[in-house]
């Protein structure tokens, strides 16, 4: 089945790309030009004669994120083309071995882009964002939870909320829903963990919130390290103060054990928990586990249903979240470019053409009120409760 799915993925990519080129041949002379910059790593997968380097029934995992995003983007383009939208997608492999990313961008100068969509790492984003600022081209990044050190660039949009935004949203949520309960942050030692704590300390001091208790745990911590911070008469709000998924699962396991011994606890975590499916297992029942994420998609809307049916019939699989995010980004921003044309840079915060989730794209300001970049500030809160994942209104 895995081999069939992989072959289907490659066939889908080839098929849609041919359809895209055919449709573009019928477009007016000046279609909206959107750059799609992502890590396809084609040079590592194909030799100079375009032969696939790996065995027929194998597929390297490092190729999957870029390819899945690409699949979703091309499905959105297929829909736009059926609607006779005048859009041209220019795909750039950011990890091409024979051409640098900068040289590939420079080649676009003769026929400039109207907008750039990118799935990339921090180093690549700095190159792409600098190019966008220089050429006055909006750059939309879909995956990074940080600003890559970029400032004073009003042409950059981060669709994935930064770690700071995620931490502050979690603190505000706890304060609004559990203001009178004791809060204990269990964490491991580390520089990233210290940064996370600094966000919460600054926020709580500014809003005059009661002091949170921080507890550093060893790698092999057990229930004995937690029990003194819990109570049998009132619920303790426990927070995993790290992005380490293994730490989060271990903490949840220990707390779930204690809740079965009449201790009362509720556990909160950050968006890396979006990938933890083990929380549906019976051993975690009895413990409410809440986390925030900017990427919520119930998959109940008509477009998601259509995409899922297409994947099931063609690839014998479900579309990944990354595939749906590729569809979402191309659909929303291609339509914005078509509607606003040369004024697209003034419409980056527009809520038009949203299909899977709500976005709150807002400017991030510096000390002198200059715009550093735009960022999606919308966070969804999800709760695992007795094996079922629910959206918290």
Residues 43 and 138 occupy one common structural domain: yes
Reported for 175-183, long-range contacts at CB under 8 A and 24+ positions apart, including other chains, are 175/207, 175/209, 178/235, 178/237, 178/266, 181/234, 181/235, 181/236, 181/237, 182/213, 182/231, 182/234, 182/236, 182/237, 183/210, 183/212, 183/213, 183/236, 183/237, 183/239
* Mean pLDDT of the region 229-241: 96
DSSP 48-106: TT--B-S-TT---GGGHHHHHHHHHHHHHHHHHHHTT--EEEEEEETT-SSS-HHHHHH
CA dihedral for 22, 27, 31, 32, sign (positive or negative): negative
- Residue 272 pLDDT greater than 50, yes or no: yes
> Which of 225, 218, 287 is CA-nearest to residue 253?
287
Sheet of strand 361-365: strand arrangement: 87-93, 32-38, 115-118, 139-141, 156-158, 371-376, 361-365
Residues 144 and 215 occupy one common structural domain: no
Is residue 54, in this structure, part of any structural domain at all? yes
- Residue 23 pLDDT greater than 60, yes or no: no
pLDDT tens digits for range 69-113: 999 999 999 999 999 999 999 999 999 888 899 999 999 998 999
Using pLDDT thresholds of 50, 70 and 90, give the confidence band for residue 29: low
- Residue 9 pLDDT greater than 80, yes or no: no
Q: Are 365 and 261 in contact (CB under 8 A)?
A: no
> In which region does residue 190 sit, left (phi positive, over 0), alpha (psi from -120 to 50) or beta (all else)?
left
Position 55 scores a pLDDT of 61
Q: How far is CA 97 from the centre of its chain?
A: 26
Residue 367: helix, strand or coil by DSSP?
Answer: coil
Is residue 279, in this structure, part of any structural domain at all? yes
* Mean pLDDT of the region 23-50: 71
Q: Are 43 and 98 in contact (CB under 8 A)?
A: yes
Residues 177 and 269 occupy one common structural domain: yes
Number of domains in the chain: 2
* Predicted model pTM: 0.88
Using pLDDT thresholds of 50, 70 and 90, give the confidence band for residue 8: very low
Residues 9 and 155 occupy one common structural domain: yes
Residues 223 and 351 occupy one common structural domain: no
Reported for 383-388, long-range contacts at CB under 8 A and 24+ positions apart, including other chains, are 383/288, 383/289, 383/290, 384/279, 384/280, 384/284, 384/288, 384/289, 384/290, 385/288, 385/289, 386/285, 386/286, 387/280, 387/281, 387/282, 387/284, 387/285, 388/280
Residues 100 and 215 occupy one common structural domain: no
pLDDT tens digits for range 311-330: 899 878 888 899 999 999 99
User: Given the structure tokens 């049916």, which residue do they identify?
Assistant: 309
Q: Where are the alpha helices (DSSP H) in the chain?
A: 2-25, 42-45, 64-82, 101-106, 122-135, 163-177, 191-206, 245-259, 302-314, 321-340
Is residue 254, in this structure, part of any structural domain at all? yes
Residues 47 and 108 occupy one common structural domain: yes
Residue 117: helix, strand or coil by DSSP?
Answer: strand
The residues that bridge with 124 in the sheet, in sequence order, are: none
Residues 89 and 10 occupy one common structural domain: yes
> Interhelix angle for 302-314 vs 64-82, to 10°?
120
Is residue 372, in this structure, part of any structural domain at all? no
* Mean pLDDT of the region 252-278: 94
Pairing of strands 380-385, 388-391: antiparallel
Residues 216 and 259 occupy one common structural domain: yes
- Which domain range does residue 16 map to? 2-161+297-359
CATH code for position 288: 3.40.50.2300
- Residue 18 pLDDT greater than 90, yes or no: no
Using pLDDT thresholds of 50, 70 and 90, give the confidence band for residue 171: very high
Residues 179 and 79 occupy one common structural domain: no
Share of the chain above pLDDT 90, in %: 72
Angle at 208 between CA 202 and CA 211, to 5 degrees: 75
User: Given the structure tokens 């009661």, which residue do they identify?
Assistant: 210
- Residue 338 pLDDT greater than 90, yes or no: yes
Residues 122 and 234 occupy one common structural domain: no
Angle at 120 between CA 119 and CA 125, to 5 degrees: 115
User: Given the structure tokens 């990944």, which residue do they identify?
Assistant: 320
Position 14 scores a pLDDT of 42
Position 230 scores a pLDDT of 96
Residues 208 and 149 occupy one common structural domain: no
How is residue 64 written in tokens?
């999957």
């Amino acid at each position: 089945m895995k081999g069939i799915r992989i072959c289907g993925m490659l066939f889908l990519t080839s098929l849609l790309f041919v359809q895209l080129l055919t449709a573009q041949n019928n477009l007016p002379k000046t279609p909206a030009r959107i750059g799609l910059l992502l890590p396809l790593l084609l040079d590592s997968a194909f030799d100079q004669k375009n032969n696939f380097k790996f065995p027929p029934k194998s597929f390297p995992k490092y190729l999957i994120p870029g390819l899945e995003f690409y699949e979703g983007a091309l499905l959105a383009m297929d829909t736009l083309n059926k609607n006779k939208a005048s859009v041209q997608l220019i795909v750039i492999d950011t990890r091409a071995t024979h051409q640098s990313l900068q040289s590939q961008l420079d080649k676009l100068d003769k026929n400039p882009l109207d907008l750039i969509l990118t799935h990339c790492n921090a180093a690549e984003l700095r190159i792409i964002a600098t190019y966008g600022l220089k050429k006055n081209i909006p750059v939309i990044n879909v995956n990074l939870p940080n600003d890559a050190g970029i400032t004073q660039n009003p042409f950059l949009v981060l669709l994935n909320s930064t770690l700071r935004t995620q931490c502050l949203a979690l603190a505000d949520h706890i304060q609004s829903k559990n203001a009178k309960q004791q809060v204990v942050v269990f964490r491991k030692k580390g520089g990233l963990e210290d940064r996370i704590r600094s966000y919460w300390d600054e926020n709580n001091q500014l809003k005059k919130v009661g002091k949170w208790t921080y507890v550093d745990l060893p790698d092999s911590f057990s229930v004995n390290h937690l029990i003194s911070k819990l109570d049998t008469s009132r619920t303790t709000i426990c927070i995993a103060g790290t992005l380490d998924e293994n730490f989060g699962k271990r903490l949840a396991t220990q707390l779930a054990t204690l809740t079965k011994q009449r201790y009362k606890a509720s556990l909160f975590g950050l968006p890396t928990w979006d990938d933890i499916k083990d929380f549906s297992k019976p051993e975690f029942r009895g413990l409410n586990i809440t986390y925030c994420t900017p990427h919520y998609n119930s998959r109940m809307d008509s477009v998601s249903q259509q995409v899922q049916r297409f994947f099931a019939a063609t690839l014998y699989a479900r579309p990944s979240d990354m595939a749906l995010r590729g569809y979402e980004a191309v659909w929303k921003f291609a339509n914005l470019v078509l509607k606003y044309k040369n004024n697209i840079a003034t419409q980056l915060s527009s809520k038009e053409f949203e299909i899977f989730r709500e976005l709150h794209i807002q400017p991030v300001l510096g000390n002198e009120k200059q715009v550093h970049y735009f960022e999606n500030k919308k966070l969804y809160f999800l709760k695992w409760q007795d094996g079922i994942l629910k959206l918290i209104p």
